[in-house]
Structure 1
Amino acid sequence: MAKFGYARVSTLEQDLEIQHERLKKEGCTLIRSEKVSGGSRDHRTELATILDFLRPGDELVVTRLDRLGRDTRDVLNIIHECEQKTAFVTVLDPYVSTKGEMGQIVMTVLGMVAQMERRFIKERQREGIERAKQQGKYKGGKRRIDREAVWRMKNGGYGPSAIARELGCSRMQVYRVLGEDTNSGNAP
């Protein structure tokens, strides 16, 4: 029976140290961590590793439920996967565990709260952007991909997969650039 800690923050700039310290104090023998959004399970390889490794009687420990995920369905699916392996999930703040009968109900409610919080954050962000636009202060998000390079490579005979590999981005980003520029008449 082992205790596995999972720590997560959403951005590269955020620090995992407080979560690591708390998980160590809780007696976690192994702590996996990552800097990736909790909005979905995509790209959360460390979480997947823990879930694959869990054995009967093991425990997955997180400091707060939103570290496990921001979407109620994802959180409940993670808990379900743990239960299928007869492993447990424990959240430290507020303390709740699936070891007890009430734990599942409390986890469901906390998962719904985490999802609502995520929606509130997005709404506040949208409101802030709209206000900044009205005041002429909004300059838009920073471009994450060199659009000219995409078109140079496209015109040079590269396909979307090759362009994505070369530029270190996803194919979807390449398709988006090619589609936006074609629709707006900005294609070279």
Structure 2
Amino acid sequence: MSESGYAALAIGGSAGSLEVLCGILEGLVSPTRLAVVVCLHTASREIGELCTVLSRHSALPVIEAQESAAVAPNQVHVAGGGYHLLVERAATFALCAGPRIQYARPSIDVLFESMADTYRRRLAGMLLSGANGDGAAGLRAIHRLGGLTIVQSPETASAPEMPQAALKLFAPDRQNTPDQLIDAVRGISRLAR
């Protein structure tokens, strides 16, 4: 699948993913028509600090995703802690206090699956370093609905369990090193529509 025609980029990660995510955000082209949605396993009290850190590495505004807000292009939306973040068919956010999935709330699987249903072929998904299997099923949902799927190569991840879980479940379109992830997001954001 080429890097053209994407409306949204979903990025998930956990342990060891922050440094890689910062590099990816530095690769985003601004302005872009791409909406970026990030889900990291973070405590709710740390979300403001996380947005501040990510803002230092992004030419796009970084904001916490809010209930009923539009999934707006040219922004990085971050899932807050304590709630699952979903994207509804109208490309708006919804928050859900459902049970933890893979010990996490927000769950990467929940976000990725809802975004796959909304964006289908116009979604690119990236799964980064993490210490559990959250995100693997969601990335597979993106793949099944025609979106682009990329995992951080496990040998470059400080916690390889998350990308390994995806690789055990299906064959993602790409396995990328951190530098390749940056190149991929640069292309995706430049050609978004």
Q: TM-score when scaled to structure 1?
A: 0.28
Which protein is richer in strand relative to its size?
2
Bigger Rg, structure 1 or 2: 1
Which protein is richer in helix relative to its size?
1
